[in-house]
């Protein structure tokens, strides 16, 4: 034992039995404890509350990583600080409302030289609307989502509407455009609710509530009509002076080095306006080969393909039952060549690598860097899609003659009628507005500003990873577009798949001189909540029509595999509707699965075009007793996939079953349905 220092031996604070046996490390610990105690006593700041102390008790998985740290914005103060008199609020789920708000801002600036604030509803304090001066115009573009719900970025605004404004909105001059689909039960409910609440609080609408109906496919046409009406009100009622501005590019274009990786210029990028759809670890966009394509309806009028995508070379590409696969189509060589000729672009110009960036560093573009004009036309711009009325009017500035300008005016005036009678894509408009050989000289930035990005198509996955982990199956019905008396033509995605089918067949010919190269697609996953219960024993009811059978194939294969492993499966019912036997998708496979489940699956098929058969909802009604037993005694989950009209009718039949058999009122039945939807006991995957 080392010798103890004399100053410790004689210290009355240290008992003698301690220093007699203490080691140096023990003594050092005592000294440190004494110093710490002194600090705690004399430094009162040590006891002050740590402003970040709450983070110790916060669940990281419960934190919204996108939540802004700043307080809600005072819109009245922001308008004053920026010296602006127009604000455009948008409530969006998929990005359309945001896109239209930006378009409207651009239109107002071009015609009136007034810059508007484009405002995300999630960022503002709505109580400050009472402080907005009367000379300010407040515009809303509001989407309705799901069961009449507000979109994700407008839930806080919806809560404010529920409470109602605590002060008068007598100074508020506003207008609302609602985006919805008439086939849904609560058509444009959110926009109607906002209009009613703002008017009740004293707000003054400068135009009547306008509603865009996506069931017609003309949302942007409805928007254009509203925007035109709005600008007329600006002039006539608000006495806003017109100060038209020539087109000003928002982009910088510079030559780039030669391309190293040609694949990089074709890879789609996520459009910033719709990025919310692709958030999460599965948002990476991959290139995958089409392994096989089978025509499921060789004798039917409408073609439906079973497509298998090979992801064996993509180890991180892992899907779950019920997920969606997003696929980006490509514009055809014909569309590209036609537009190239009209714009007088030679081959060298089409394939010259360019860096194209926004002049505003905060604004992201939706194409890769570098890129070529050919890649933009083929992979990134919707040059074959229906052009907006705004684009037609914007083209007037570049019209090669007064005659062309007058023709554009006529197209804009008769836009709704013409869009149902003949093609109105960019190339066709330029051709129709030229009486002779077209000599259009459109700046590339103008095209990028006005032509919509090419958007992915969503497909329900028709396979299960437990059975087919590296091949993803899709059920794709070919869509035909009919315009006037012209023969039907395939839509963009349908034409893309039909061309891929031909390429796949050609690549497998023995006489082909080239190596067999299957067609590739750009794709990504979108996680879905449309999934079977975790327990294989839980009963389920599935209702589908047409290609809506796709996710239920995945459900059944998943449950059959679990049955083989676990040895048990709950009661199931599948009601499937199609036109006739020629359009009966997966008939043999469904019969095989039905047999394999050994009586646990009730399989009911409805042929709507066969005399006396009826629609799928009629068969739901006919099996009301069995359905009631599954729902009430078995607590079955209900899944509906297919057209909006079918889903609405099936839901009505389900409610009728409860009203008739349980003597419920309409209100009781609707309350029950609402509870089932909120608990996700009833789920829908439907389209217009």
Whether 370 and 266 have beta carbons less than 8 Å apart is answered as: no
pLDDT at 511: 59
pLDDT at 34: 56
pLDDT at 418: 86
pLDDT at 169: 93
The CATH code belonging to domain 540-687 is 3.40.50.80
pLDDT at 52: 30
pLDDT at 152: 83
pLDDT at 184: 76
pLDDT at 272: 44
Which positions ≥6 away from 194 have C-beta within 8 Å? 140, 142, 157, 161, 176
Q: How far apart are CA 269 and CA 89, in angstroms?
A: 26
- CATH architecture label of 73-236: 3-Layer(aba) Sandwich (3.40)
pLDDT at 36: 52
Using CA atoms in the order 338, 271, 181, 88, what is the torsion angle rounded to 10 degrees?
-110
The yes-or-no answer to whether 73-236 and 280-329+455-528 have a common fold is: no
Q: How far apart are CA 489 and CA 482, in angstroms?
A: 7
Chain segment 95-110, per-residue pLDDT in tens: 789 889 988 998 898 8
β-bridge partners, 120: 90
pLDDT at 407: 92
pLDDT at 101: 92
pTM of the model: 0.77
Task: Name the packing angle between helices 644-662 and 666-678 (round to 10°).
Answer: 120
User: 3-class SS at 358?
Assistant: strand
- CATH architecture label of 280-329+455-528: Beta Barrel (2.40)
Class for the domain spanning 331-453: mainly alpha
Residue among 193, 185, 110 at smallest CA distance from 150: 193
Q: How far apart are CA 535 and CA 87, in angstroms?
A: 50
Domain-wise residue ranges, the chain: 6-45, 73-236, 280-329+455-528, 331-453, 540-687
Q: Which residues of the chain have pLDDT under 70?
A: 1-71, 259-262, 270-283, 362, 435-438, 507-517, 611-612, 688
Residue among 65, 208, 203 at smallest CA distance from 136: 203
Peptide bond just before 370 cis, omega within 30 deg: yes
Whether 173 and 204 have beta carbons less than 8 Å apart is answered as: yes
């Amino acid at each position: 034992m080392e010798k103890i220092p004399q100053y410790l031996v004689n210290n009355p604070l240290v008992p003698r039995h301690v220093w007699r046996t203490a080691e140096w490390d023990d003594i050092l610990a005592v000294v440190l404890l004494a110093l710490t105690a002194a600090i705690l006593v004399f430094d009162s700041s040590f006891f002050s509350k740590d402003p970040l102390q709450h983070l110790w008790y916060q669940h990281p998985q419960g934190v919204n990583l996108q939540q802004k740290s700043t307080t809600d914005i005072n819109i009245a103060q922001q308008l004053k600080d920026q010296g602006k008199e127009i604000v455009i609020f948008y409530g969006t789920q998929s990005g359309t409302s945001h896109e239209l708000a930006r378009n409207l801002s651009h239109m107002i600036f071009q015609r009136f030289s007034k810059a508007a604030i484009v405002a995300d509803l999630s960022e503002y304090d709505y109580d400050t609307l009472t402080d907005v001066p009367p000379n300010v115009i407040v515009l809303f573009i509001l989407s309705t989502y799901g069961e009449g719900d507000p979109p994700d970025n407008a839930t806080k605004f919806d809560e404010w509407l529920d409470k109602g404004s605590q002060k008068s909105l007598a100074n508020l001059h506003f207008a609302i455009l609602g985006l919805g689909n008439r086939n849904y039960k609560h058509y444009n409910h959110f926009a109607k609710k906002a209009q009613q609440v703002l008017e009740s609080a004293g707000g003054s609408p400068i135009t009547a509530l306008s509603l865009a109906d996506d069931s017609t496919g003309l949302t942007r046409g409805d928007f254009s009509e509203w925007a035109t009406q709005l600008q007329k009100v600006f002039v006539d009622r608000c006495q806003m002076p017109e100060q038209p501005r020539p087109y000003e590019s928002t982009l910088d274009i510079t030559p780039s080095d030669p391309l190293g990786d040609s694949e990089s210029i074709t890879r789609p990028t996520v459009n910033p306006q719709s990025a919310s759809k692709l958030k999460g670890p599965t948002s990476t966009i991959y290139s995958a080969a089409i392994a096989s394509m089978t025509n499921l309806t060789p004798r039917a009028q409408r073609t439906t393909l079973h497509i298998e995508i090979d992801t064996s070379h993509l180890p991180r590409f892992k899907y779950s039952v019920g997920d969606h696969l997003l696929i980006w189509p490509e514009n055809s060589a014909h569309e590209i060549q036609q537009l190239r000729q009209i714009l007088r672009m030679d081959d060298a110009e089409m394939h010259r690598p360019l860096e194209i960036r926004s002049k505003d560093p905060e604004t992201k573009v939706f194409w890769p860097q570098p890129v070529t004009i050919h890649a933009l036309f083929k992979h990134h711009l919707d040059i074959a899609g229906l052009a907006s009325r705004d684009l037609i009017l914007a083209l007037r500035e570049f019209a090669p003659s007064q005659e062309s300008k007058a023709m554009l005016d006529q197209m804009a005036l008769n836009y709704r009628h013409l869009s149902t009678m003949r093609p109105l894509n960019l190339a066709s408009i330029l051709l129709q507005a030229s009486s002779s050989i077209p000599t259009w000289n459109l700046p590339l930035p103008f095209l990028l500003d006005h032509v919509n990005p090419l958007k992915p198509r969503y497909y329900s996955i028709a396979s299960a990873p437990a059975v087919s982990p590296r091949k993803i199956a899709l059920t794709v019905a070919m869509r035909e577009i009919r315009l006037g008396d012209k023969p039907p033509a395939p839509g963009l995605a349908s034409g893309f798949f039909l061309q891929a089918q031909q390429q796949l067949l050609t690549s497998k010919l023995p006489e082909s001189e080239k190596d067999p190269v299957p067609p590739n697609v750009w794709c990504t996953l979108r996680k879905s909540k449309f999934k079977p219960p975790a327990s294989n024993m839980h009963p389920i009811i599935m209702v589908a029509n047409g290609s809506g059978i796709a996710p239920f194939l995945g459900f059944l294969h998943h449950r059959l595999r679990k049955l083989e492993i676990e040895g048990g499966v709950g009661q199931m019912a599948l009601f499937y509707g199609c036109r006739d036997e020629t359009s009966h998708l997966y008939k043999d496979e469904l019969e095989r699965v039905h047999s394999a489940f050994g009586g646990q699956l009730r399989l009911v098929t409805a042929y709507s075009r066969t005399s006396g058969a009826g629609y799928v909802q009629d068969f739901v009604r006919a099996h009301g007793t069995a359905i009631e037993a599954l729902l009430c005694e078995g607590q079955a989950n209900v899944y509906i996939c297919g057209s909006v009209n079918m889903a609405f009718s099936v839901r009505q039949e389900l409610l009728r079953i409860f009203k008739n058999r349980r003597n419920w009122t309409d209100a009781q039945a609707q309350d029950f349905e609402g509870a089932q939807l909120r608990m996700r006991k009833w789920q829908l995957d439907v389209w217009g």
